[in-house]
Structures are given as structure tokens and as C-alpha cells.
Copies of this chain bind each other. A is one copy, B any other.
Amino acid sequence: VWFTLKNINIILVETTHPGNIGAAARAMKTMGLESLRLVKPKIFPHADATVRAAGADDILSRAVLFDTLAEAVGDCKFVFGTSTRKRSLQCEVLGPVTAADEIRLHIENNVPVGIVFGRERTGLTNNELDLCQKMITIPTNPGFSSLNIASAVQILCYELRKNVPETDLGVADEIKESGAVEHAELNFLDPDKPRRLMRRLRQMFNRTGMDQNEYNIMRGILTAIQEKVNQK
């Protein structure tokens, strides 16, 4: 699954500060994304972009420029917009975790995806919003929701990478140690087809990144159910 992250298109619309473009490229590359598209950047290329890319210059030099968002998303079968504000949007609004999971499913099915980030101050126009099937909102402090555009790119790329089980080795180790999967397998799954459910369980645990406390709660619930079964 890993390499497919490269196929997700990050699209920046009329970015004002070239430093933000460079920082977005760096944010993408640290998480394994590679495809950057720029719709009419105010100043690009620029030294600020290169400095802030800090070694992710290859992402910048391969960035593709477009005149309109419509052209930039022309080959994307599914387009996600981003917004820090809860606008009166007609389309579905997702949180970063749900959005990352949907995007992961799209790329697993070879559906080209674009994630669109609007202008620093004014975001996306209504015409541009019409090109987005769904919106992604990163929850922020209601008193200060001024999330930097490269920070928004960083958070979404982080969530996208987190959803790739193979790379999240720390979580996989915890699952093993917690014994929660084995607990579920030994006691509750249909003995005729445990492997399929096991795989689904493992995928879910891998993707949610549950911690020790949450495993303990799950085990507590499983134990309670087991007691109920035994009472019968």
C-alpha cells in the first residue's frame, strides 16, 4: 500500500507566500507524498520556497502549475476541499481521520484523488468549492483557528501516512504486546472462519492506532460479553 501515497495530489490554490509552498513540499515529503500541483501561485519559484523546502526541492521542481483549479483537478476522480471554518457548506464535511481513511480507500482502488488547499486568507471561492465532492475540516481552537496552510498540509499528510499499517510499526508492536487481538480470536470469533475476521480486526486496530487504555476497555467489554455467553 505504501507507495500509493505518492499518487495523492496536493493542490495549493493561489498561495500568496512562496515560503508556504516550500513548507508544504517539506511536509508532504516527510510523510511520503510527492505530487504537488499549484494553481496560480503569487510568486513561484522563489528562494523562500526553496529554503523552507529544506531538501524537498525535488517536490518543488516537479510541481505542476495550472491556471485554474478546474484544470488542476481535471484527472482527479475524487476531490477533497479543506477549510478551517465550518462554513455553510452543502457537501459532506469530514474530520482528518475519516478523510484520511476515505482517501486511502480511493488510492487502494486506483481512484486519482486531489486534496485542495485554498488561499491563506480567503480560502476557496464558491466556484472552486463546487469542484470538491467533500470537505475536510481540521478541528481548531474556536478562539484562534488561524492554521497555517503548510501546517494543514502537514496534519493531513501525517494522518494519511498513519493510515498505512506497514509503516506504523510502533502501533503494530503495541497490538502484539497488548494481546487484545489474541483475546478476541481465542474467545469470540467464529471458529470456522477466524482468519478473515482476524485480518479485519488487525486492520482496524492498525488504522485506529488504539492505545493501551483503549485495548483494556475493549478487553473488558469482550470479557463481559464472554461472561454473558457462559451464563447461557
Does A211 have its Cβ within 8 Å of any Cβ on chain B?
yes
Does A4 have its Cβ within 8 Å of any Cβ on chain B?
no
Closest to A23 in B: B148
A162 to chain B, nearest CB (A): 7
- Asked whether A101 lies within 8 Å of B211 as measured between CB atoms, the reply is yes
Give the residues in chain B near A128, CB-CB below 8 Å: none
A169 touches which of B30, B139, B158 (Cβ 8 Å): B139
A86 to chain B, nearest CB (A): 9
Q: List 28 A-B contacts (CB under 8 A).
A: A26-B151, A27-B151, A29-B141, A29-B144, A29-B146, A30-B141, A30-B144, A30-B145, A30-B147, A30-B151, A54-B146, A55-B144, A55-B146, A95-B168, A102-B211, A139-B167, A150-B151, A154-B154, A188-B224, A190-B228, A197-B224, A200-B220, A204-B217, A208-B208, A208-B209, A208-B214, A225-B229, A228-B229
Interface set of A (CB-CB < 8 Å, partner B) = 23, 26-27, 29-32, 54-56, 93-95, 97-98, 101-102, 105, 137-141, 144-148, 150-151, 154-155, 158, 161-162, 167-171, 174, 188-190, 197, 200-201, 203-204, 207-214, 217-218, 220-221, 224-225, 228-229, 232
- Tell me the number of copies of this protein: 2
- Asked whether B141 lies within 8 Å of A97 as measured between CB atoms, the reply is no
A97 touches which of B98, B171, B224 (Cβ 8 Å): B171
State whether A138 and B158 are in contact (beta carbons under 8 Å apart), knowing that A54-B146, A224-B197 are contacts in the complex: yes
- Asked whether A161 lies within 8 Å of B139 as measured between CB atoms, the reply is yes
